[in-house]
Structure 1
């Protein structure tokens, strides 16, 4: 599926809808993983902000570039925790493993949104949802390819 977003506001709206559809699904054997690919400024964090707002997160949502991982408590069953991971600064896979990756990824009540997934592709489940962000023709436009 491909979506053309004409603004940050529209990207957030699309991601809220996506989040609300997600919570209607039955959890699988492990965490629900969304891999967000795109250049700097392409809309990955903006998408995550709307997505987490759609799941009821009220706190400020910023990119975890410097802290690598942020955790949010969810009040939507069957999911009870969302993780926002930014792999941009990851140099060794061990850095992710040391963040309790195995526990996070194996819990079907978790949602994990990953920016820069290509840096840790070896440990991302094959069945994850992949969203590729590309710049549109206009400065505020973004194309989201969802697979």
Structure 2
């Protein structure tokens, strides 16, 4: 049996920046209890986070195709590239959706960022520091 050692898809500082980007989006959404939109112009991607009683939903959109809604329900107007339902109960597996057709047109560098974001959306944990302080962590 052989074990292959793979290089991480992104450099460590790039992953840390993505963790900050995703963490900040989730933390603001938990604090405000509103759908939160965060734009990464550098990568041409948008992250929208919202919550339900049982899960946090994170969706990734392509910036060039995104239309902003004046009603605040932008995620309903735009089909996501990826959606992950991350349940608070760890016994329930996360549910993911990916639009295979749309991601085929993405550049290799954007795909690396996209797949890294998908992985981070499925593996975060929330630490509650006080009644209005949340922190996203990855182990």
Q: Calculate the TM-score normalised by the size of structure 1.
A: 0.34
Greater helix percent: which structure? 2
Q: Calculate the TM-score normalised by the size of structure 2.
A: 0.35
